[in-house]
Chain A
Amino acid sequence: MYRVTLPALGTFDAWRDAARRLLSHGVPPDGVLWQRDGAGGGDLFAADAPPDTVGPQKVATTRTLLSTAQSVICHRDGQAPALLYQALHRHQSDRRAMANPADPLTRKLMRLQKEIGRDIHKMHAFVRFRELPASGPRRRFGAWFEPDHAIVEIATPFFARRFADMDWTIATPQGVARFQDSTLDFHPPGPPPDLPDDASEGLWQTYFAHIFNPARIHLKAMRSEMPLKYWKNMPETRLIPDMLAAAESRVAEMRAAMPSQPPARSARILNRLATPEPSQTPATMGAARAAAAQCRRCGLREAATQTVWGAGDAAAALMIVGEQPGDAEDLAGRPFVGPAGQVLDAAMTEAATGPCWRTNAVKHFKFKPRGKRRIHQPPTQGEIDHCRWWLDLERDMIKPRVTVALGASAAYALTGNAAPLAPRRGGIEPARDGGPVVITWHPSYVLRLDDAAATTARTQMVADLRRAQAMLQAAG
């Protein structure tokens, strides 16, 4: 039988050294008695110190196992070092057990590790520093904190990274962490330090009392996240009884209060902010765009980000009309900036089209959210009809001599003819307001097709755009 006595500070290193040596000699878990320094009571059994030298057996471990050991060794459960040794011993012959969350020993270690994790997390949360007088340029702070486990060594490097420009001391019943001139070291525990009053505590208490909403008391949540055992070292918690006592009457007062007379400045400010009702028919392109941004003619606006108004050269003789903005256009607020827009851009460059005004039959993006994506939905005829008011207005201002309709929705909006697109593609139809409409594919249709079909459709689209351009030149 061997006995290992673990020190209060540097526990993990001591455990690891001893475990490594014992295991290299093939000592089974029940051949070791683990105890903590100062725990006493170990004299019942006569036992030897672990061997000084490394034995013949190679010791295998994993990073996970070591990091588990590093935290579990802090646990106040007296079994923790033995359980860890048991796990390490088993790992030599069974490499999979530590990775199996249903294994009883693994599960037990996971539970202990979780308790340590929580203790560390609460220490990071609930340590309260008070400022101490400083002699040098660095400010000094001190705190007293009582964790459940001996975590002072693994929990305090966090504070060293965070509060690097000040000197601080965190004293705990298990040990003291001192950070001075960028060096963190640990010392044996002492009595709780006497910390001077700190004026910022008063402000913090004010904040705590006022950020509290008396109408939504939820004590269980507070107590489970901030257990009572921590309260005595937190300055704000002593306010809680009074806050609770007053809560109900405060809410009752809010309810009982009669609506008050608004302050005098209120009406003046609101008058200044009031936006005039937009006139019936906007007279300029800018006014039309602004009015369309507020359009409520159909239900699409509620889901879409914004109205995507046409863009381009307002004096152009050519107008290109698509179906509706897509995901990219909806976010950017500009038409034809997405993948379909790129197809159109390329086709227009190839066809050498001149200046034009590009817009959509429907000015809002219609979609269905699915997972992380917004899936395009074709607009209904009703939606196209509602939005035609804007398209007509745009056409009235641009007065295009030739219009290109991209796809069936645009063709319907411009000609009123909802017949299938394929037989009509490449033809010229009269617009409802007169003027020729060249019917072609929508660029996103090209995107959906396979290679050969896509090439054909793209070629047809370019040909149609060329035709529109030729018509302009013939007329002009």
Chain B
Amino acid sequence: MQMSLKQKLAILADAAKYDASCASSGTTRRDARSGGIGSAGGSGICHAYTPDGRCISLLKILMTNFCIYDCAYCINRVSSNVDRARFTPEEVVTLTLEFYRRNYIEGLFLSSGIIRSPDDTMSAMVRIARMLRQDHQFKGYIHLKTIPEASPELIHEAGLYADRLSVNIELPKDASTRALAPQKKPETIRAAMAAVRLKRQESGERSHTGKRPRRFAPAGQSTQMIVGADAARDHDILSTASRLYTGYRLRRVYYSAFSPIPDASAALPLIKPPLMREHRLYQADWLIRFYGFEVDEISGVTPSGNLDLELDPKLCWALANRQGFPVDVNRADRDMLLRVPGFGTRTVNRILTARRSGALRYGDLLRIGARMGTAKAFVTTPDWSPGGLTDAENLRARFAPAPTQLSLF
């Protein structure tokens, strides 16, 4: 039976929705004034939001959801009975361009189940990207999922057409990957990430003639880890993430709360997706990348090695390290200001700029946009001192949500 484009789109969007990434930012600036269609660069644009609160920036689809691997957490595993479909390259190209022309999307995020062999799959995906870039002069954003076992030549070509490449690390611990995704090899996944990093590094270096080689994956690489499918603690997850960031210069590590799938595997019972945990992990991730925190500082606050679900990780760290507070807003250095709960990077930048024009008072901080409800216990200004508040025993209780009675049912 011939499937309609609409039916295929339904199946292959369903198959793609468990990939969290939808970023379209941070690539080279380009537009269609010199021909073709599309533009990219600068901040990404989210063109729509679904009721799960996630944005739609890219047309996120699988080329096919036929797959020879059997990953227990995946809707597309070989042992699942979901409907299967496969787009022709022309169909993907048409969908991308027609959606793009109507301003529905920023570009394409193409992933795929593994069909026949990793090289077969990767070369089919690269072909689609090549058609978009060369035949249609498409200047929009392309994110290609990289098949770790694919040949280096294919990955190289993929990086020339795609803005971003990604390989999913899948699970925070190698043992879990081996147990739940037996055909995937953690070391092969890491080696693929290392190869992409080295390729990016090469493409940034001028040759001896001063010529720059073609940019390779200018928006970098990212990965995704499933949270809650195995027994890994938040400490393990963040340690793995931090190793990935430093080792492979990833732009992003996405944390994806393990979410129910149709026709689930008996090997992996369905749970309610741990959304708050996912949220806290993202907060911790931000602290590590932009606020100068080390993993151990964040996860060391709780003995369990899991983040506190009630309070955000920065506040938890400050509550456990009150000896460093209160901080004088007018004298503290940037690193210390970044550690004050209620101050974000933007607030800190504004504080540092405003300090050049004179001492900041409490009202100035409010005006600048600091969340003083949180910050006031941790800072001093010429007209504000938290007094005993910083060391008050009930300080945590002031921030924590009110306790609710356990439901009997």
Determine if A305 and B187 form an interchain contact, defined as CB atoms under 8 angstroms apart: yes
Binds A, one of B207-215, B242-250, B302-310: B242-250
Q: Chain B residues with Cβ under 8 A from A100's Cβ?
A: 353-354, 356-357
Determine if B49 and A222 form an interchain contact, defined as CB atoms under 8 angstroms apart: yes
Determine if A306 and B45 form an interchain contact, defined as CB atoms under 8 angstroms apart: no
Bound state CA distance, A210 and B56, in angstroms? 12
Shortest Cβ gap from B154 to chain A (Å):
18
Given contact pairs A266-B79, A294-B187, A207 touches B243 in the complex (Cβ within 8 A): no
Q: In the complex, which residue of chain A has the Cβ closest to the Cβ of B185?
A: A294
Q: Chain A residues with Cβ under 8 A from B98's Cβ?
A: 200, 203
Interface residue? A187 (CB, 8 A): no
Q: Chain B residues with Cβ under 8 A from A200's Cβ?
A: 98-99, 102
Bound state CA distance, A128 and B263, in angstroms? 36
Determine if B68 and A247 form an interchain contact, defined as CB atoms under 8 angstroms apart: no
A and B contact pairs by CB, cutoff 8 A, 22 listed: A101-B354, A125-B47, A129-B101, A162-B37, A164-B33, A203-B5, A203-B95, A204-B104, A206-B9, A207-B56, A210-B11, A211-B13, A222-B50, A243-B50, A253-B262, A262-B80, A262-B81, A266-B79, A305-B190, A306-B194, A331-B198, A370-B294
Bound state CA distance, A370 and B3, in angstroms? 52
Determine if B262 and A254 form an interchain contact, defined as CB atoms under 8 angstroms apart: yes
Shortest Cβ gap from A228 to chain B (Å):
12
Q: In the complex, which residue of chain A has the Cβ closest to the Cβ of B292?
A: A371
Interface residue? B261 (CB, 8 A): yes
How many residues in B have their beta carbons less than 8 Å from beta carbons of A? 90
Binds B, one of A213-221, A343-351, A383-391, A452-460: A213-221
Interface residue? B173 (CB, 8 A): yes
Binds A, one of B126-134, B264-272, B371-379, B394-402: B264-272
Interface residue? A134 (CB, 8 A): no
Counting from the closest, the 4 A-B pairs by CB-CB distance are A221-B53, A218-B53, A262-B79, A259-B266
Given contact pairs A121-B45, A129-B101, A102 touches B364 in the complex (Cβ within 8 A): yes
Determine if A301 and B70 form an interchain contact, defined as CB atoms under 8 angstroms apart: no
Determine if A128 and B102 form an interchain contact, defined as CB atoms under 8 angstroms apart: yes
Interface residue? B51 (CB, 8 A): yes
Determine if B245 and A369 form an interchain contact, defined as CB atoms under 8 angstroms apart: yes
Digit string of A211-240 for contact with B (CB within 8 Å is 1, else 0)?
111111111111001100000001011001
Contact of A208 among B56, B101, B364, B368 (CB under 8 A): B56
Bound state CA distance, A230 and B261, in angstroms? 31
Interface residue? B165 (CB, 8 A): no
Binds A, one of B14-22, B316-324, B385-393: B14-22
Q: Chain B residues with Cβ under 8 A from A262's Cβ?
A: 78-81
Interface residue? B31 (CB, 8 A): yes
Bound state CA distance, A124 and B39, in angstroms? 12
Q: Chain B residues with Cβ under 8 A from A373's Cβ?
A: 246
Bound state CA distance, A244 and B264, in angstroms? 22
Q: In the complex, which residue of chain B has the Cβ closest to the Cβ of A244?
A: B51
Contact of A217 among B10, B51, B197 (CB under 8 A): B51
Bound state CA distance, A211 and B105, in angstroms? 13
Q: In the complex, which residue of chain A has the Cβ closest to the Cβ of B272?
A: A215
Q: Chain A residues with Cβ under 8 A from B191's Cβ?
A: 305-306, 333
Given contact pairs A213-B18, A216-B53, A221-B53, A99 touches B353 in the complex (Cβ within 8 A): yes
Of the four ranges (under 10, 10 to 19, 20 to 34, 35 or more), the interface on chain A belongs to 35 or more
Determine if B68 and A273 form an interchain contact, defined as CB atoms under 8 angstroms apart: yes
Bound state CA distance, A129 and B14, in angstroms? 25
Q: Chain B residues with Cβ under 8 A from A203's Cβ?
A: 5-6, 9, 95, 98-99
Determine if A102 and B194 form an interchain contact, defined as CB atoms under 8 angstroms apart: no
Q: Chain A residues with Cβ under 8 A from B43's Cβ?
A: 121
Digit string of B350-388 for contact with A (CB within 8 Å is 1, else 0)?
100110110010001001100000000000000000000
Contact surface of A with B, Cβ cutoff 8 Å: 96-97, 99-104, 107, 121, 124-131, 139, 141, 143, 158-159, 161-166, 198, 200-204, 206-222, 225-226, 234, 236-237, 240, 243-244, 247, 251, 253-255, 257, 259-263, 265-266, 269-270, 273, 293-294, 301-307, 330-333, 369-374
Q: In the complex, which residue of chain B has the Cβ closest to the Cβ of A143?
A: B103
Determine if B49 and A306 form an interchain contact, defined as CB atoms under 8 angstroms apart: no
Bound state CA distance, A266 and B79, in angstroms? 5
Determine if A215 and B260 form an interchain contact, defined as CB atoms under 8 angstroms apart: yes
Contact of A372 among B45, B183, B246 (CB under 8 A): B246
Determine if A303 and B243 form an interchain contact, defined as CB atoms under 8 angstroms apart: yes
Q: In the complex, which residue of chain B has the Cβ closest to the Cβ of A307?
A: B187
Contact of B78 among A141, A265, A332 (CB under 8 A): A265
Interface residue? B259 (CB, 8 A): yes
Determine if B68 and A210 form an interchain contact, defined as CB atoms under 8 angstroms apart: no
Determine if A166 and B354 form an interchain contact, defined as CB atoms under 8 angstroms apart: no
Shortest Cβ gap from B82 to chain A (Å):
10
